[in-house]
């Protein structure tokens, strides 16, 4: 939920520093607009960076101070416990999928592949739509700077609310069932966006709210589902973070080129593809899981 709140505040902070443009008359030459005020986005990014440092430094100082204090107290009271906590596994053991799957290498590897594909497409699609929704609002529906920022903010508000609601629902619905339902619902959302969103500005707003709400639980659901299959250690979460970040970077990079070449429809098609790949990843892994269970029973 904190991620959604930060993503909500970010565009609002950046908005005053964006370029101001106006329509260009035919006498002024080629192009659709003229820049009335140059962008100062670097100021917004600097402010965000400084704020991040201000938040991070006290956390790390606290972590280091408390960590050293804890080790010191343990060394005085429980020398044997200290020896146990300092014992580390070998590098090969850490990267071995069998370590997290009760010795089952093939099953552990299948979970790693599933997590990689799932989070690559989840974060890639989520950030792709969240990053281009403002641009599409301006270019297609000619929203002004303020309303375009509101549109972007609505997406992240919906995502924050969706994670709150998802945390409540997940207490009453099994994670396997909820994940399958959620990825299918999300696929329906991104398909509707691809087919209908550009036809009407009100529909674009509505589908943006729905997409933010439906994509929200998929990140924590993916981790919870992975934890139901294997022991989700720090290494497993590193895979989640790395593949998700790589998907974020890859889809944004691709989306920028696609938008410049083919326009907003192609970007929405790319978002739709991420939804298809996520459903395929979940269904395929469920089938693989079933086959492993069948083999073990036999």
Q: How many CA atoms lie within 13 A of 256 on its CB side?
A: 7
Weakest mean pLDDT among 26-35, 188-197, 201-210, 267-276? 26-35
- Listed in sequence order, the residues at least 6 apart from 121 whose beta carbon sits closer than 8 Å to its beta carbon are 247, 274, 275, 277, 278, 281
CB of 140 closer than 8 Å to CB of 264:
yes
pLDDT at 15: 79
pTM: 0.79
Q: How confident is the model at residue 32 (pLDDT cuts 50, 70, 90)?
A: low
All structural domains of the chain, each given as residue ranges with its CATH number in brackets, are 104-297 (1.20.1250.20)
10 Å Cβ neighbour count for 273? 16
């Amino acid at each position: 939920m904190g991620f959604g709140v930060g993503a909500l505040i970010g565009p609002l902070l950046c908005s005053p520093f964006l370029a101001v443009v106006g329509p260009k008359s035919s006498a002024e030459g080629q192009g659709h607009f003229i820049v009335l005020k140059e962008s100062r986005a670097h100021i917004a990014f600097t402010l965000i960076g400084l704020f991040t440092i201000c938040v991070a430094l006290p956390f790390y100082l606290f972590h280091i101070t408390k960590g050293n204090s804890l080790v010191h107290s343990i060394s005085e009271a429980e020398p044997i416990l200290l020896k146990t906590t300092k014992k580390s596994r070998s590098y090969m053991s850490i990267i071995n999928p069998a370590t997290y799957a009760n010795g089952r290498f093939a099953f552990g590897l299948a979970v790693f592949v599933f997590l990689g594909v799932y989070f690559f497409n989840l974060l890639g699609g989520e950030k792709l739509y969240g990053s281009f929704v403002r641009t599409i609002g301006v270019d297609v529906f000619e929203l002004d700077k303020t309303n375009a920022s509101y549109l972007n903010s609505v997406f992240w508000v919906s995502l924050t609310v969706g994670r709150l609601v998802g945390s409540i629902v997940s207490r009453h619905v099994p994670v396997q069932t909820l994940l399958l339902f959620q990825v299918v619902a999300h696929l329906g959302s991104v398909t509707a966006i691809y087919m209908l969103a550009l036809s009407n500005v009100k529909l674009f707003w509505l589908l943006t709210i729905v997409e933010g709400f439906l994509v929200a639980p998929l990140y924590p659901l993916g981790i919870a589902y992975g934890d139901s299959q294997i022991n989700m250690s720090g290494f497993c979460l590193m895979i989640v973070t790395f593949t998700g970040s790589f998907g974020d970077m890859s889809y944004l990079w691709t989306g920028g080129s696609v938008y410049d070449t083919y326009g907003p429809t192609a970007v929405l098609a790319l978002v739709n593809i991420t939804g298809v790949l996520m459903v395929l990843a979940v269904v395929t892994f469920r089938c693989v899981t079933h086959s492993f269970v069948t083999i073990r029973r036999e």
